[in-house]
Amino acid sequence: MINIDALNHVQGKSIYMDDREELKGTLYAVPFDFPVAHARLHQIVTDEAQNCPGIVKVLTAADIPGENQIGGIIPDEPLFAEHEVHFWGQVGGLVIGTSEHACRLARKKIRANYDPLPAVTDPRVAKSKDMLISPPRTFRCGDTAQAWSSCDHIITGRADSNGQEHLYIETQGAYAWIKEDGSVYVASSTQGPTAVQKTIAKVLGLPMHKVEIDTVRLGGGFGGKEDQATPWAVMAALAAKVTGRPVKLALHRMDDMRMTGKRHPYSTDFRIGLSKDLKILAYEATFFQNAGAAADLSPAILERTLFHCTNAYYIPNVSATAWSCKTNLPPNTAFRGFGGPQGKFAIECAIATAARVIGVKPHEIQSANLVKDGDTFPYGQIIKNAEARHSWETCTSGFGLDEVIHEVDAFNRSNFRFKKGYAVQPICFGISFTNTMMNHARALVHVYQDGSVVVSTAAVEMGQGVNTKLLQIASDIFGVDPSRVRIESTNTLRIANTSPTAASAGADLNGKALTLACEAITARFKDLLREELGWTDVIFRHGKATDRVSKNFIMWEELVLKAFQKRISLSEHAHYYTPEIFFDKTKEKGHPFAYHVYGTAIVEVTLDCLKGTYEFDRVRIVHDFGNSMNHDVDLGQVEGGLVQGIGWMTMEEIVYNDDGKLLSNALSTYKVPDIYSVPKVIEVKHLETSGPDLAIRKSKAVGEPPLMYGLGAYFALRHAVLAFNPEAEISFDAPYTPEKIFRDLYKKPVT
C-alpha cells in the first residue's frame, strides 16, 4: 500500500497545525527571550511593548494561574524565566496581539534588568564544578580491572560528537481555545499529546479532563517534539485562558533554532583492550553528556547511551559510566537514536584507534567481536535471534567488501589529489522504551452500521508512515478494502494516558493494541455466525466473512448490520503492554528490550584532498526489517535515517560561542544534507528473517536504527584522510566537516 498521505502531501492538501481553519477573533503569540545565557533576573519591563499597536497583552510568570513548571522527568524547568535565566533563548514571556507581525515589532520593546553570571557550555567543565542533572549511572559486566592484565593491546582515547538540529520542516507550534465550560482545546504539533495535556493542566491549574489535545500530523518530529513541543502548547493555552480568545503560536525558524534543545553533544574517554586474535576483552568508557540547562529527557537519553555503548559487539568485561552535565545551553532532548548513536560513536572510535595502533583494518576487529545467540549484553539481557553475523556476512559477501578494498587501494595508489575511503558499519538497536512503564498503548475502533471503520490510537503521524501501517492492520483483520477504514487524529479524549510516539515503537505498540481491538470485534462476529448459522471456521477476506467448511459467505456490510440488530457492540477499546520486559535500576540489569534490530552498511567516499570536500559514492546496506509490513515506507525510513546520520557525522555543525550564544542560528549558517550531498548510490537489501512475535506482524521497528549507518560516513572519511596523510595525529571530533578534514590532511606528525 502506498503511504496514505502521499497524494495529499504532493498536492499540498495535508493539514498541519498552522493550516487549521482559524476561528473568529484568533490572536497570535510570539515568545520573547533575553540576549544572555546565564543571569540573575530582576525585572522584566513590558509597558512599552504593551502599548504597541495591535498588542492585547504581554504575559510573564506572574500571569500563570497554576505552577510555573514544565519539567517532565525532573521538575527543574520553569515555563517562563522568573528569577534566573539559564540559557540564551529561554523564554521570559509571551507577546499576544492581533497579528504575528505586531507581536514581533512589540517584542523588540521588551526590556529586562539582569546581572549576567558566568556561563558554562562545556560538559567536562560542568562536571568539574559538580553541575549535574542527575546522579551518574554505571553499567558493568565482568571485571575490567582484572581483564587488562590479559590484554595484548590496550588503547586509550577520547571521542567527541556534537549536537544536531532537528530541523523538522514544520516548526514548533500550537493553536488553543477555551470551550464553554472553561476547558481548553489545543491543536498541538507534538509527539506526546499526553505530556502536553498533563503540563497544561499543571500550569493552568486545571484537572486533566478539562484539557483536550488533538494532533493530526507533524511536519517531522525526529524526537524534537517528544518533550519540547510542550511549552509552546502550554503558552498558547495560557494565552487563550488569559485573553478568552483563540490563540495561535507558530515559532519562526530562527526562534525555534535558538529556543529549543538539540541532540546531546557527548565527550567520551575510552579504554579498550584486545587479545592477539583481535577479541575485545575489556572496554571502559566515561561519557560526559552535555544536557543543557534543565533535565528534559536527558536522564533517559543517558541511559540509552549506556545500553548501546558496546553497539553490536560482545565484550565480556565492561565498565561504562555516564554523567549528565548541566550547562547554560538550551536543554538538549530526544533525537532519533536517543543517546544510542553517541554511545556507538565512542566504541567505533575505540575500534578505529585500536586498528591503527595494531595495524589491522577496523572491520577485522568489528567482525571478530559481533554478538551471537547466548551472549549477554552488559545490562544482563541474554541475546536471542542475533542477526549481527547474518547481516554482516550478507552485506560483506553480497556486496563484495573484498572488491571494495581492492578498488580503494588501487585508486589511492594511483591518485594523489583524490583519495577514497570506506567503512563497514554494523548496528544493533534495542526496541522498547528503556523505561519499562512506558511500553503500553490503547486503540479505539468503531465499526459503523454501514460497515465503515474508524480507528484511533496514540500513534502520531510525523512522516514515518505509522498511519499507513495502522490502516493496513485494520483493513486486513476485517478483510475490507482500505478505503473502508479511516485513521482519526491522535486525541487525548479518545485515547488517554499515552506514551509519546517515540523509541521507534509507535507501530509496534499501537499496532498491537489495534490488533486486539479489531480481533475482539471479529470474535463477536464469529460467535454470532456460529450461533445463527452454525459456521465454525470463519475468515474475513475481500469484503466478506466466509465459512471455510461450508463455503458459505456473508457480505461484510450485511454482517455488521446483522450484529447491530442483535445488539452486539460494534466498538472496542483495547489495551496492550509489552510482555517479558523488565529492568532493575538498583542492579542495572534486566531484560529491557522486546528485541533488537540489526544491520550492516558499507560506506564509500571520495575525498578531494586539495579542497577537503568529499562525495559519498555509495552506501550499501543489509537491514533487518523482520517481516516488513510495507517495503516502501520502510525503505523511506532507511534512506532518511541514513542521510540524517551522515548529516550529523559530517556537515551539521552546531556552534555556540563561549557566552552560550547560538551562532549556527539559521539555515544560512547550519548546513543539512541536500540532494547534492546524499550518496550517489543507496542500495538497501532486506535481510531474510522471520521477525520476532513482539514486533507488529513480525515487522521490526525501523524508525531510528538506520540513522546509525551514518556513523560509517565518519570512518570512511577518516580512512580517506589517513590514505593521504598516514602519519597524522587526528582526534575524533564529529562532525567531520571539510574544514576539519582540511586541517587533518595537512597536519604534520607529532615528533
Query: What are the catalytic residues?
Result: 704
Residue 113 has phi, psi (to 5 degrees) of -100, 120
The residues facing 78 across adjacent strands are: none
Residue 247 grid cell:
490563540
Report the nearest approach of ligand MOS to the CB of residue 298 (Å). 13
In the list 226, 255, 572, 744, the residue contacting ligand MOS (rule: CB under 6 A) is: 226
Question: Among residue numbers 185 through 214, which ones bind ligand MOS (CB under 6 A)?
Answer: 191
C-alpha distances (whole Å) from 486 to each of 333, 481, 525 are 33, 11, 21
What crossing angle do the helices spanning 506-533 and 466-478 adopt, rounded to 10°?
10
434 interacts with, out of ligand MOS, ligand MTE, ligand LUZ, none, CB within 5 to 8 A per kind: ligand LUZ
Q: Does 434 bind ligand LUZ (CB under 6 A)?
A: yes
Report the nearest approach of ligand MOS to the CB of residue 629 (Å). 19
Residue 50 near residue 103, CB atoms below 8 Å:
no
* Binding string, residues 687-726; x marks residues near ligand MOS by CB under 6 A: -----------------x----------------------
Torsion of CA 304, 310, 314, 319, to 10 degrees: -90
Residue 41 near residue 85, CB atoms below 8 Å:
yes
Rounded Cα distance between 87 and 93, Å, is 14
Q: In what order do the strands lie in the sheet with 84-85?
A: 84-85, 39-45, 111-116
Taking the least distance from each CB to ligand MTE, the nearer of 369 and 464 is: 464
In single-letter form, the type of residue at position 409 comes to D
Taking the least distance from each CB to ligand MTE, the nearer of 512 and 544 is: 512
| Residue 562: exposure state from Cβ atoms within 10 A (0-12, 13-18, ≥19) | middle
3-state secondary structure of 493: coil
Q: Does 593 bind ligand MOS (CB under 6 A)?
A: no
Q: Which listed range, 202-210, 252-260, 329-337, 450-458, lies at the site for ligand MOS (CB under 6 A)?
A: 329-337
- CA-nearest of 184, 167, 322 to 251 is 167
Q: Does 338 bind ligand MOS (CB under 6 A)?
A: yes
Report the nearest approach of ligand MTE to the CB of residue 645 (Å). 12
In the list 94, 102, 295, 334, the residue contacting ligand LUZ (rule: CB under 6 A) is: 334
Q: Where along the sequence are the contacts to ligand MTE (CB under 6 A)?
A: 220-223, 336, 462-464, 466, 501-507, 637, 640, 701, 703-704
| Residue 276: exposure state from Cβ atoms within 10 A (0-12, 13-18, ≥19) | exposed
Q: Does 418 bind ligand LUZ (CB under 6 A)?
A: no
Q: Does 309 bind ligand LUZ (CB under 6 A)?
A: no
In the list 300, 388, 646, 701, the residue contacting ligand LUZ (rule: CB under 6 A) is: 300
Taking the least distance from each CB to ligand LUZ, the nearer of 434 and 491 is: 434
Report the nearest approach of ligand LUZ to the CB of residue 338 (Å). 3
463 interacts with, out of ligand LUZ, ligand MOS, ligand MTE, none, CB within 5 to 8 A per kind: ligand MTE
Residue 147 has phi, psi (to 5 degrees) of -65, -30
In the list 195, 306, 503, 745, the residue contacting ligand MOS (rule: CB under 6 A) is: 503
Residue 314 near residue 371, CB atoms below 8 Å:
yes
Q: Does 246 bind ligand MOS (CB under 6 A)?
A: no
290 interacts with, out of ligand LUZ, ligand MOS, ligand MTE, none, CB within 5 to 8 A per kind: none
DSSP of 167-233, one letter per residue?
Answer: --SSPSEEEEEE-TTS-EEEEE--S-HHHHHHHHHHHHT--GGGEEEEE---S--TTTTTSTTHHHH
In single-letter form, the type of residue at position 556 comes to W
Interior CA angle at 304 toward 585 and 460, to 5°?
110
Q: Which listed range, 199-207, 330-338, 438-446, 516-524, lies at the site for ligand MOS (CB under 6 A)?
A: 330-338
Q: Which residue is nearest to ligand MOS (CB)?
A: 223
Report the nearest approach of ligand MOS to the CB of residue 226 (Å). 5
Q: Which listed range, 314-322, 432-440, 454-462, 481-489, lies at the site for ligand LUZ (CB under 6 A)?
A: 432-440
Judged by the rule CB under 6 A, the positions of this chain that interact with ligand LUZ are 297, 300, 304, 334, 338, 433-435, 438, 502-503
Judged by the rule CB under 6 A, the positions of this chain that interact with ligand MOS are 191, 221, 223, 226, 334-336, 338, 502-503, 704
